[in-house]
């Protein structure tokens, strides 16, 4: 099976996903409408790790938490970031975890979790929202590459969440990633009447960040039959978390 820069070639990937006779369909709509993915027959993927080690969900989550503790304490190890690791991972990749995180420049996932090259399969989009593109990436990182945990990671003072709280008109395409957050935080906003204008109440923002992370995580197995099956088979765990910009800690929520 051919790989290019650690990724399967297009023809091989299509074979794995069963696209050809069966095909796949994704329907999407703007304005936060639901979309669905038709289940695809997926064969066993080549998930051989460069180090020869695969972690189960609990082990993978602990490895992330241990790395974050090192980072937060100011004692990062910066593991697996040398020439030897580059050589080891250049033919293939086998990340142990997938992160659906925000694009915020203050939350670089490999640094926050003190991991190295090839350890994490990271999908970053403002507001850490679920979309057809992000779900496809998460499916690839788990079904094809073999990662056993997905972390949907929100963070303190998220600008996308703040924009969703205020609900004002936005320029360009910014609204595309703000609209999917609104259903997640509507119950939170209802508890803070009259407080959706600047300066925003800190607890309103924090509660909304957590609600959004949990909402997006809960949507994943509802939308993706691939992820749902991996969870049912005991091969995958999906969790949500909040990153604190001040302390550097990630707390599961």
Task: Tell me the β-bridge partners of 222.
Answer: none
DSSP annotation of 200: P
Instruction: For the chain, list residues with pLDDT below 50.
Output: 1-7, 9-11, 14, 16-52
3-class state of residue 232 by DSSP = helix
**Local structure of residue 96 (DSSP, 8 states):** S
Question: Residue 19: its pLDDT value, please?
Answer: 39
Q: Are 43 and 16 in contact (CB under 8 A)?
A: yes
Q: Give the per-residue pLDDT at 226.
A: 98
pLDDT at 12: 53
Residue 14, φ and ψ in degrees, nearest 5: -60, -35
Listed by start position, the domains of the chain span 3-252
Question: Would you mind telling me the total number of residues written for the chain in this entry?
Answer: 253
CATH architecture label of 3-252: 3-Layer(aba) Sandwich (3.40)
Contact status, residue 132 vs residue 27, Cβ threshold 8 Å: no
Put residue 16 in one of left, alpha, beta given phi > 0 → left and psi -120 to 50 → alpha: alpha
39, 26 in Cβ contact below 8 A? no
């Amino acid at each position: 099976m051919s790989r290019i820069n650690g990724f399967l070639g297009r023809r091989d990937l299509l074979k794995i996903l069963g696209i050809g006779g069966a095909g796949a369909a994704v329907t999407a709509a703007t304005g936060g409408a639901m979309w669905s993915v038709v289940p695809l027959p997926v064969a066993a993927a080549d998930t051989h790790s460069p180090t020869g080690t695969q972690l189960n969900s609990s082990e993978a989550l602990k490895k992330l938490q241990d790395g974050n503790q090192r980072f937060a304490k100011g004692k990062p190890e910066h593991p697996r970031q040398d020439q030897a690791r580059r050589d080891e991972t250049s033919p293939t990749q086998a990340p142990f975890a997938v992160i659906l995180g925000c694009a915020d420049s203050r939350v670089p996932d490999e640094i926050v979790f003190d991991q190295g090259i090839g350890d994490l399969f990271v999908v970053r989009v403002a507001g850490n929202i679920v979309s057809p593109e992000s779900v496809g990436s998460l499916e690839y990182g788990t079904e094809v590459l073999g990662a056993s945990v997905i972390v949907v990671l929100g963070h303190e003072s998220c600008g996308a969440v703040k924009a969703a709280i205020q609900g004002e008109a936005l320029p360009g395409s910014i609204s595309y990633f703000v609209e999917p957050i609104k259903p997640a935080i509507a119950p939170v906003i209802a508890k803070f009447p009259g407080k959706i204008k600047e300066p925003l109440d800190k607890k309103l923002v924090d509660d909304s960040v957590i609600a959004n992370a949990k909402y997006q995580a809960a949507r994943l197995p509802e939308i993706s039959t691939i992820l749902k099956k991996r969870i049912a088979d005991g091969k995958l765990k999906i969790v949500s978390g909040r990153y604190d910009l001040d302390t550097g800690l990630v707390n599961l929520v």
